[in-house]
Structure 1
Amino acid sequence: MRWTLKPKPAQEDIDRLSAELNVEKLIAQLLLQRGISDYDEAKAFFRPELDHLHDPFLMKDMDKAVARIEQAIVNGENILVYGDYDVDGTTSVSLMSSFLMEFYPNVATYIPDRYSEGYGISFQGIDFAEDNDVSLIIALDCGIKAVEKVAYAKKKGIDIIVCDHHRPGDILPEAVAILDPKQEDCTYPYKELCGCGVGFKLIQALASKQGRTMEDLVPYLDLVATAIAADIVPITGENRVLAHYGLQVINSSPRIGIQALIDQTKKRELTITDVVFIIAPRINAAGRMKHGHHAVALLSETDFTTAQQFASEIELFNTERRGLDQEITEEALVQIRENEEEGRFTSVVYNENWHKGVIGIVASRLTETYYRPTLVFTKSGDKLAASARSVKGFDIYNALEGCSDCLEQFGGHMYAAGLTLLEEQYETFKQQFEKVVRETIDPDLLQPEISIDAQIGLEEITPKLMRILKQFAPFGPGNMTPVFLAEGVKDSGYARGVGDGEKHLKAALSQNGSNPIGAIGFNLGDKLDVVKRIKSFDAVFSLDENEWNGTVSLQLKLRDIR
């Protein structure tokens, strides 16, 4: 691992903010590193308020979108709420459809089949709309590149409102309204909303025209927080407010479908991390293993017994998904070991029999193992489809753009993307992708980095510090859990390997005679010899609480040692 200590802000700024907020200098330093430099910004950070949310009508085309929906309601038109099959898409569809159906009955939902239709708006979905006399489609978490599909719908007399957060291409679809803050000429103040977040801004705008307040919409924020967590968008600005209140809903009065999922896990209070690793994979499993409409049905259900039944089915999908994910990851690792030459900057693997629903997870696993931009391909109809994953600091979307002459279509973000190509283009693409990455990536990015906020002494770690750090949550991109470096620490003599195969490290560390603090290092079991053999070492860690037999104690969550 490459250890990088973040630049320390100017001492005079630390001293000033520390005095202004009456907090320790370490806290002032952490806040300045997050761009928080005065009392008002700190108050907004620690006490997010609903009135910090922006006026939805600041988003380009919001007035057009609201007017078209209002017109559809007045005319008694059939509305189809259309979304992608992942967590962001299915939460978006549940959000929009359940909101509209509070006051308007002619609303149906549609999730494309991952295998027969692929990502985004499909010709099949538009045909479904035509067959069911739909004249307005609200497309969520997709549509910004669906130029041909929107034109096809228009010919059939079907209007489309696009609510997306992906990067637009050079040509925009001729939709009746396009809500996407990443459009260059959209002046909306916050650019990092997820698809469900853009959908939420639309229901916020519709609700305001009905005289309703933000407080009336809080029950929908469990869906928005789930999408924010799953889509790994920055938890800054507006996303921080939405995630903060959404987590409160998840932990106090979530919708029945989310409660049924939580009941499957036996968790008491969920953090954003729990949503990422516990709730999101289960919602995703429906679209991966069966069909995304199972997830929408669960998230929209109002009868608890039925929701429990749906949740049990989704739990089975998730178990099946885990088995496939492990199996395909092993096969892909063998393929890389046996077929790839030394010194490659990318991993590109293909097997026509791999399950399309898990190739994104497999790409993430391979990236963790080899730490380089990775694509996993499988057969999809008469083409090949791939999921792409990147390493920190490298824009894989831009790299794919540099290979676009080989591709049928592609879309996504800096760190994750999807694409399709013709089978005969595979080898050409593989070579071109390697060339583009080799020429554009900083080689340092091919070594995983631990970004360290501050160097501290173990004696500075107190329950008071932990109480304040907990208020930095919810954590995520743009506001990661603070990571610390302590130099010259040593084990109390009881370090051991724990867990299956002793792959985790458990120890109690002290520094300059300080009281030992318990430490756990997940997947650091191979460092046990260093801890036992070396007189003192440096440790990088975050702070955590360990609950055992009803007693809560501070512990270090080790990230690396050397």
Structure 2
Amino acid sequence: MKAEWRLRVTKCDIDKISKEANISKIVAKVLTNRGIKKVDEVKKFMNTSLNDLYDPFLIKDMEKGTDIILDAIDEGKKIVVYGDYDADGVTSTTILYKALLKLDANVKYYIPDRESEGYGMCSDRITTLKEEAAEVILTCDNGISAIEEIKLAKSLGMQVIITDHHELPFVENEGEKKYVVPDADAIINPKQSDCPYPFKLLCGAGIALKFVQALYIKLGIDEKEAYEFIEFAGIGTICDVVDLIGENRIIAKHALKMISKTKNLGLKSLIEVLGITGGEIKSYNIGFMIGPCINATGRLDTAALSVELLMCEDKEKAEELAKKLYELNKRRQEMTIKNVEEIIEYIETSELKNDRVLVIYKQDVHESIAGIVAGKVREKFNVPTIILTKGKNMPKGSGRSIEEYNLFEELVKCKELLDKFGGHPMAAGLSIKEENILKLRQKLNENCKLTENDIIPKIKIDKRIPLSIIDYIFIDELEKLEPFGKGNSSPLFAEKNIEIINIKIMGKNQNTLKLTCKMNKKDTIDAIAFNKVEELKEILKEKHGENYMKILNNPIGLKLDIIFYPSINEYNGHKSKQLKIKDFRISKELNNK
């Protein structure tokens, strides 16, 4: 489906913001497009400071939760950090476990097995932990939905502190939501309506960081010592795809600086295995390289391997673990590609292609990759997608959505068909009896209010700019807007009628385009487009018929409109300007022969 191009429009005095904040007009326009319109907000965004982190005690129950842990440390009680198997869960577990060890706590950590226990707390595991003499459970990145499990823990005499960031569960009665939370000793989750904390979008690792800050303050330790954990919190923040604004931006930006010079043996080894040494680590490296390796352990082995890597203090062991993570991720990638291709073919040859909400049951999908597969299929069709696979006791899976569709709330409307579910507006996990799958598909589609326009992908362009203005100073200023991600997307620019003087097809799979574009009468710039070879062939074929191969080999007169992001390409010590292409189309003004 071809995307619709939209130029962002904002009503602001760009000249004034540019002058007073001492930034270029283009960067001022990019920031106002993201809702950052006041000069003081712009300055704060451009100059992130750890001093701008909020007081952790503003979070509801932080006082209560840290008191319980400090008393447990004093009394030698056994504390269990109960984490999760994704990158956010792994990093938040590492933060809490490492900090509590430093405070001489009697502590262990536990991360559930994805296949046998699933997400969140498990009643059988709680019973086992009690048998192992656990007295205090400290959750991270989970717990807010564990009503029955925490009830069990309390009945067994354990204290429970929840640190979580997920949406609160609720029941709906005549259109009114009534939130239901577990009967824990302390619930530390800024999403509670009566929590006064000013920033509601922290991930699990961000909240774990705040918890450690609060512990240190109470013990009279300089809270800045807690900043050693920022590199872990930054990985969780970027990988959990929370909005990279406010505190999340501060954490992520400072984490990237730390990771680029990390002293953590595990991270260092993983960076070396991935071949991203010798330069600054960017959000892309975390989100698409480091994060997936951490996630792969929880998908295909045990996430405890990732915690072990981040805790490792032996160089040889760290190298061994890093290689294992890399190989697991490679295997996960191969499994993902195979399943995505099979599911897309199935959808395109069945009545499912007409659905506004895709619900696919494919028994042989490894349940650990259901969410990734759902995301890839969603990208292809731009509709909410749920991928279900054969679970241990019943089918289970994951869903990924589009901005116009709140998947979590739509699943709430179908809760009578579900055994268990939870998540966010954009992502959810669920388990369901096989006989209810078709009913779920039908009900979600009957309730769906997405219009034809809603499901057309939209690409939002920050500004139209001529290629001739792109220089190293301009690119450097754009890079100061890093880290990019949800809430702070990479800036996108566009230009029309760009003359293409050479086309090269590259890559192991011959799916990468390298276009040589004219900047002005004498200068050119290379532009890279990943996975766009077939698309270019198709639009050229549509325009020129069977002669399209001649244009590919000799693009004289070919002009394209392109959407791009300017960047620096470094290869063998050589630097050059480069455009990363998001989308392209043949220029309407074109009159090719």
Report SS of the residue matched to 1:115: coil
Whether 1:320 aligns to 2:339 is no
Q: Residues of 2 paired with 1:287 and 1:340: CA distance?
A: 34
The Cα offsets for residues 217-241 of structure 1, whole Å up to 9 and x where unpaired, read as 2221111111111101111000011
Whether 1:266 aligns to 2:289 is no
Whether 1:241 aligns to 2:253 is no
**Corresponding residue for residue 565 of structure 2:** 542
**Corresponding residue for residue 446 of structure 2:** 435
Q: Which runs of 5+ in 2 are unaligned?
A: 170-178, 541-550, 586-593
CA contact (8 A) 2:91 2:233 kept: yes
**Corresponding residue for residue 298 of structure 1:** 309
| Change in 2 beyond 3 A, CA 1:338/1:94 | same
User: Counterpart amino acid of 1:340?
Assistant: E
RMSD: 1.7
The Cα offsets for residues 432-467 of structure 1, whole Å up to 9 and x where unpaired, read as 122222xx2243231222111111112221221111
The Cα offsets for residues 72-100 of structure 1, whole Å up to 9 and x where unpaired, read as 11221100000111111111111101100
The Cα offsets for residues 51-92 of structure 1, whole Å up to 9 and x where unpaired, read as 100000111111110111111112211000001111111111
Report SS of the residue matched to 2:80: strand
**Corresponding residue for residue 192 of structure 1:** 201
**Corresponding residue for residue 130 of structure 2:** 130
Q: Work out which of the residue numbers 539, 551, 557 in structure 1 matches 2:574.
A: 551
How many aligned residue pairs are there? Answer: 557
Report matched runs for 1:417-428 at 5 Å: 417-428=428-439
CA contact (8 A) 1:392 1:445 kept: no
C-alpha displacement of 1:188: 0.8
Whether 1:7 aligns to 2:9 is yes
C-alpha displacement of 1:535: 4.4
Q: Residues of 2 paired with 1:360 and 1:259: CA distance?
A: 28
**Corresponding residue for residue 104 of structure 1:** 104
Report SS of the residue matched to 1:313: helix
Q: Residues of 2 paired with 1:470 and 1:253: CA distance?
A: 21
CA contact (8 A) 2:79 2:135 kept: yes
The Cα offsets for residues 462-505 of structure 1, whole Å up to 9 and x where unpaired, read as 221111111111111111111001122211x2223222453222
Report SS of the residue matched to 1:224: helix
| Change in 2 beyond 3 A, CA 1:499/1:270 | same
Q: Which moved more, 1:338-347 or 1:136-145?
A: 338-347
TM-score normalised to structure 2 length: 0.91
Q: Work out which of the residue numbers 487, 495, 502 in structure 1 matches 2:503.
A: 495
CA contact (8 A) 1:9 1:33 kept: no
C-alpha displacement of 1:511: 5.5
Q: Work out which of the residue numbers 243, 262, 287 in structure 1 matches 2:298.
A: 287
CA contact (8 A) 2:373 2:387 kept: yes
CA contact (8 A) 1:9 1:29 kept: no
| Change in 2 beyond 3 A, CA 1:118/1:341 | closer
User: Counterpart amino acid of 1:543?
Assistant: P
Whether 1:40 aligns to 2:75 is no
Q: Residues of 2 paired with 1:183 and 1:445: CA distance?
A: 31
Name the % identity: 34
Report SS of the residue matched to 1:495: strand
C-alpha displacement of 1:335: 2.8
Q: Residues of 2 paired with 1:67 and 1:442: CA distance?
A: 51
CA contact (8 A) 1:110 1:125 kept: no
CA contact (8 A) 1:335 1:349 kept: no
User: Counterpart amino acid of 1:9?
Assistant: K
CA contact (8 A) 1:218 1:245 kept: no
**Corresponding residue for residue 52 of structure 1:** 52
**Corresponding residue for residue 175 of structure 2:** none
Q: Work out which of the residue numbers 448, 453, 468 in structure 1 matches 2:457.
A: 448
CA contact (8 A) 2:468 2:520 kept: no
CA contact (8 A) 2:162 2:184 kept: yes
CA contact (8 A) 2:347 2:353 kept: no
C-alpha displacement of 1:421: 1.2
The Cα offsets for residues 131-171 of structure 1, whole Å up to 9 and x where unpaired, read as 11111100110110110000000000011111111100121
**Corresponding residue for residue 166 of structure 1:** 166
C-alpha displacement of 1:43: 2.5
The Cα offsets for residues 384-418 of structure 1, whole Å up to 9 and x where unpaired, read as 11100112332211221221121112111121110
| Change in 2 beyond 3 A, CA 1:341/1:473 | closer
